[in-house]
Structure 1
Amino acid sequence: MGTPDAVVIGAGPNGLVAANILADAGWQVVVCEEQPEPGGGVRSGPGPADGFVYDHCSAFYPMAISSRAIGSLELERYGLRWLHADEVLAHPLPDGRAAVLSRDLHRTAEGLDELAAGDGAAWRRLYGLWEELGPHLLDALFVPFPPIRTGLRLVAKLRLTGLLRFTRFALLPVRRLAEEEFSGPAALLLAGCALHADLMPESAGSTVYGWLLAMLGHQYGWPVPEGGSGQLTAALVRRLEQHGGVLRCGDAVRQVVVRGGRAVAVRTASGEEIPARRAVLAATAVTQLYGGLVGWEHLPPRLRDDLRRFQWDYSTFKVDWALRAPVPWQATGVAGAGTVHVAASLDEMTEYTAQISMGRVPARPFLLAGQMTTADPCRSPRGTESLWAYTHVPRRVRGDAGGDLTGSWDEREREAFADRLEAQIERYAPGWRELVIARRITAPGQLQASNANLVGGAINGGTTSVHQQLVFRPTPGLGRPETPIAGLYLASSSAHPGGAVHGACGANAARAALHATRAHAQRAAAAGIRLGIGR
């Protein structure tokens, strides 16, 4: 390879999607990754016991399978195979029943009606809204803001009155939606989905986020890559390399070289300078790019103050277990679900998020759990289960609502809080802890050590709250991947549309770079014509 056309910093899903799109356009691309292996949060490995496979961070991928950016790469041709559990999501209840979301809408609605008459019909209405607007919303979600074409189609479809009603729906806190639409626990499915981010039941926008994930479960499912999440990364890497891209791992980029107001190269930890003829794409946390890889002397003074106000999402604490048998859930329907939400009620979810907001380690943490062998039988030996669960904790701990944890997350605190997670599952599956062969605990600092983009254990690249979405992400502006430096693009989840594995942040950055290059070539050609006429 000669001089690269582009250097991509970071080999997570956004960086690899961006690199593939540029390679498809004929660009020579080099991807630089700090860690010894690619993937970022999309990696897997052996453990926590012999014969088991665990995912380092992300595991289920409704956004990936629905993403236009990832779908266009046809990764199935490069070895990726999606698998589904029998049920998408289950939320066990204290009385031994469960709310279950299936790919089958009718089965889901019937189950919700059994829990509370009329809730099935309300759920069908939510899916009817999705059938009407879902494709347009996905088109709008995955492109740079503002999505002009999609926006015009939505306005034409809904007209003013319908648009206002949908906007109200989108801004509703999920607790208010529960009061308006449901008489039973159906809303717990939506509230749990909203807590995949950092949206409490009282947060504006928590309804639309929960609705989006739940409806994707009906339309696409929440699949897993066969063999582990790392197989999604492996397919992206294989595709890139077959299209001429180069991946360099284990040599971190320490500086974006700026000359004449333009990004022209990167400098790595080894001191090597890698030129970039056309663009540098930074699939890194925005706080690492501005004032880090790019010095403040190259940036507008206002940006420094804006970035000081950038808000991270909550920190994350994760435990992986190797079980000698599946979890003995009391409620019917939970055993077949790939994903399980664990919380007794909407009030318990509110209490959990309120404690985090006050800087307190939650006494009864909400758990997002994954039954990986249930979804993919090759994740562990026959008859066993590879299980994980994560919860959120404060970024800065000021107290503990359930004990004496300080947020140091030393060995004692890691073990104690992991026991607290296990106690939550025990409420709905008595005796399950006797099945544990081994467990692996990952505290916030360990998440960041394995992936510098997970700053303080934040897994969404910044809060999902409405004040830091769209034109406010990462700072007030246009919500686009362009930066104040010519030829430099923000390609991480710190950019619109934010967290989750959809590759849209990387795709938007790649397309912006391609567009800028075409525009420059057109301007140069026009100038040449004018000069020719002048002669």
Structure 2
Amino acid sequence: MTRGRAHDAVVIGAGPNGLTAANVLADAGWRVLVLEAEDEPGGAVRSDRGVHPDYVHDLFSAFYPLAVASPALRALDLERWGVTWSHAPAVLAHPTPEGRCAVLHRDQERTAMSLEGFAPGDGEAYLRLLARWDRLDPGLLGALLGPFPPVRRLAALLPGLRAAGGLRLLRMLTLPARRLGEEEFAGDGAPLLLTGCGLHADFLPESAGSGLFGWLLVMLGQRHGWPVPVGGAAALTDALVRRLADRGGELRCSAPVSRIVVREGRCLGVTTADGEPIRAGRAVLADVPAPALYGGLVGWEHLPDRLRADVRRFQWDHPTLKVDWALTRPIPWASPQAGAAGTVHLADSVDHLTRYAADLVTGTPPERPCVVLGQMTTSDPSRSPEGTESAWAYTHLPRGNAAPAPPEALADRLEAEVERYAPGFRDAIAARRIMAPGDLERHNRSLHGGAVNGGTAAVHQQLIFRPVPGTGRPATPVAGLYLASSSAHPGGGVHGACGANAARAALRARLPLAGLAPPRRPRWRSGRS
């Protein structure tokens, strides 16, 4: 029997989705317990001073356009609990080998002017794409992040869809990023911004859905920026934790769950790794990867036979290699405009992005990796001493080969790419930390093999196919158990939507019909299923 008071819900995992779910349930008056396996909360939203004591580095995620735009997180009003957002002077830059630079600013006219420098008319073409977004926002984001299927949200979107182009807009949303860039622009600048945003997931420039993903990230940057929490990513987690405590929720760290207790098709609670049974009177919400839940925390004997084969086909996203640097000075970019951007993408061309993606697909470690780089002091001056830079960069590696070369050699290869665009960069390195895929998983066991998105974002594992065919909703085959992680729709990113959707599903399941008594809670007998 659980110590102390009983809990209406147990949430497994204190990542952003788990903490969002817990807050939504606590707001509804539920007694909520969050169990986190690691020794601190946050999942992939954490920061430390492990590279250099004077520098703050984010361990995993760093920029949060989805957090400030997501209806789920905006509803929590986290600014009241201490989050302060900071923006770099520019959102995103993509320098080219010949010294030009495509720059996304929060001022749309400055963005258009930057793209116009690549080809006459591209500025106006960009503003037309932005106008399409404005006719749909915020309804489109609500439909993409909300519960599936988004029937009501799509109905509300119909007038905006017609105004934004109707079938022509829908066709545009299916285009690969390369094709979208070719159809809308004459120069290289805008296509580099669109396809470069595919680096944030595992989209090939030629894959269906990559155009939508690129357009989404660019438009979010235009309208919301890609902000960071002042003081580090952990500030966002701290706000979620403080809010939960104020609502009466409880968080326990260093408390891994060993199994979910199921009897007669109903989830009764959990058992911790130290053998403590904890009853969940209404629901258990699992902020863990789908393969860790099905056949892991829940035994196959409690699940449909077909689910085992489906989970075997579950596809992870590509492993990630990340390098953190403490720099004695700002990065000496050959294109000065890149120095003002919080995020910088490094790839010579769309063709370079395609070759890099093909290497990943064919299991070949790219000789010329494409790089996503963050300039954190540029974004938030509190991250390091004045005149210095806290920076990081990451690239993806082939699946199924988490260590294609020694991590130091891979880090050197990544640094060589930065040096190409910023001669003298290496001379500014005071300290560095290499986070190979296995290191990412050791810091956060949900990042299986260094995969950071909870499973591929490709079309075959989205919507009703996420995490397996026939799902798309947070409910599981076990009554009272909900999948609340990024393995569920809508997938990766710090938006809290997976957790919020699971929490709302649990709340709906417990609402009795008018005039009927609420359903009986299952009797808890022991920690054995």
Determine whether 1:170 maps to 2:186: no
Aligned to 1:150: 153
1:202 to 206, 210, 215: 206
Contact 2:181–2:194 (CA<8 Å) still a contact in 1? no
Aligned to 1:38: 41
The structural deviation recorded for 1:163 is: 3.4
Aligned to 1:408: 403
1:264 to 254, 265, 268: 268
Instruction: Classify the secondary structure of the residue corresponding to 2:248.
Output: coil
Aligned to 1:184: 187
| Cα distance between partner residues in 1 of 2:27 and 2:328 | 46
2:380 to 345, 351, 376: 376
Instruction: Classify the secondary structure of the residue corresponding to 1:192.
Output: helix
**Where does structure 2 lack aligned partners over 5 or more consecutive residues?**
521-529
Aligned to 1:487: 480
| Cα distance between partner residues in 1 of 2:81 and 2:162 | 43
The structural deviation recorded for 1:139 is: 1.2
Aligned to 1:280: 284
For 1:417, the aligned partner's letter is: L
The structural deviation recorded for 1:477 is: 1.4
Q: How does 1:508-527 map to 2 (within 5 A)?
A: 508-519=501-512, 523-524=516-517
2:24 to 21, 26, 41: 21
| Cα distance between partner residues in 1 of 2:150 and 2:209 | 19
Aligned to 2:98: 95
For 2:501, the aligned partner's letter is: N
TM-score, normalised to structure 1's length?
A: 0.94
| Cα distance between partner residues in 2 of 1:39 and 1:217 | 24
| Cα distance between partner residues in 2 of 1:472 and 1:307 | 11
Aligned to 1:453: 446
For 1:202, the aligned partner's letter is: E
Contact 1:9–1:281 (CA<8 Å) still a contact in 2? yes
Query: For the aligned residues, what is the CA RMSD?
Result: 1.6
The structural deviation recorded for 1:2 is: 1.3
**Cα deviations by residue, 1:454-497 (Å, 9 ceiling, x for unpaired):** 11111111111111111111111141000000000000000000
Aligned to 2:426: 433
Q: How does 1:501-512 map to 2 (within 5 A)?
A: 501-512=494-505
Change (3 A) 1:521 1:384: farther
Contact 2:35–2:252 (CA<8 Å) still a contact in 1? yes
For 1:315, the aligned partner's letter is: P
Change (3 A) 1:245 1:179: same
Aligned to 1:297: 301
2:459 to 466, 477, 481: 466
The structural deviation recorded for 1:162 is: 4.0
For 1:424, the aligned partner's letter is: E
Contact 2:512–2:518 (CA<8 Å) still a contact in 1? no
Structure 1 stretch displaced more, 134-143 or 10-19: 134-143
Structure 1 stretch displaced more, 185-194 or 219-228: 185-194
Change (3 A) 1:90 1:5: same
**Cα deviations by residue, 1:327-362 (Å, 9 ceiling, x for unpaired):** 000113110100000011000000001000001111
Change (3 A) 1:520 1:310: farther
Determine whether 1:226 maps to 2:226: no
Contact 2:327–2:429 (CA<8 Å) still a contact in 1? yes
Change (3 A) 1:33 1:297: same
Aligned to 1:443: 436
| Cα distance between partner residues in 1 of 2:199 and 2:71 | 24
Contact 1:47–1:322 (CA<8 Å) still a contact in 2? no
Determine whether 1:313 maps to 2:306: no
| Cα distance between partner residues in 1 of 2:352 and 2:261 | 50
Determine whether 1:138 maps to 2:141: yes
For 1:435, the aligned partner's letter is: A
For 1:184, the aligned partner's letter is: G
The structural deviation recorded for 1:453 is: 1.2
| Cα distance between partner residues in 1 of 2:166 and 2:151 | 15
Contact 1:447–1:457 (CA<8 Å) still a contact in 2? yes
Q: Percent identity?
A: 60
1:356 to 335, 356, 360: 360
Aligned to 1:402: none
**Cα deviations by residue, 1:79-99 (Å, 9 ceiling, x for unpaired):** 111000000000011011100
Contact 2:510–2:519 (CA<8 Å) still a contact in 1? no
| Cα distance between partner residues in 2 of 1:521 and 1:81 | 43
Aligned to 2:523: none
The structural deviation recorded for 1:77 is: 0.8
Instruction: Classify the secondary structure of the residue corresponding to 2:512.
Output: helix
The structural deviation recorded for 1:451 is: 1.1
The structural deviation recorded for 1:159 is: 4.8
**Cα deviations by residue, 1:46-102 (Å, 9 ceiling, x for unpaired):** 031120010010000000000111111111111111000000000011011100000
The structural deviation recorded for 1:182 is: 1.2
| Cα distance between partner residues in 2 of 1:287 and 1:451 | 15
Determine whether 1:336 maps to 2:340: yes
The structural deviation recorded for 1:242 is: 1.1
**Cα deviations by residue, 1:277-315 (Å, 9 ceiling, x for unpaired):** 000000000000000000000000111111111111100
| Cα distance between partner residues in 2 of 1:220 and 1:159 | 24
For 2:146, the aligned partner's letter is: V
Instruction: Classify the secondary structure of the residue corresponding to 2:166.
Output: helix
Aligned to 1:400: none
Contact 2:267–2:479 (CA<8 Å) still a contact in 1? yes
| Cα distance between partner residues in 1 of 2:87 and 2:158 | 35
| Cα distance between partner residues in 2 of 1:19 and 1:522 | 29
**Cα deviations by residue, 1:352-378 (Å, 9 ceiling, x for unpaired):** 010000011111111110000000001
**Cα deviations by residue, 1:2-38 (Å, 9 ceiling, x for unpaired):** 1000000000000000001111111110000000000
Contact 1:6–1:276 (CA<8 Å) still a contact in 2? yes
Change (3 A) 1:159 1:87: closer
Determine whether 1:214 maps to 2:218: yes
Aligned to 2:121: 118
Contact 2:136–2:164 (CA<8 Å) still a contact in 1? no
| Cα distance between partner residues in 2 of 1:441 and 1:215 | 32
The structural deviation recorded for 1:155 is: 3.0
Change (3 A) 1:438 1:466: same
Instruction: Classify the secondary structure of the residue corresponding to 2:472.
Output: coil
2:79 to 73, 76, 87: 76
TM-score, normalised to structure 2's length?
A: 0.95
The structural deviation recorded for 1:522 is: 6.1
Change (3 A) 1:437 1:526: closer
For 2:503, the aligned partner's letter is: A
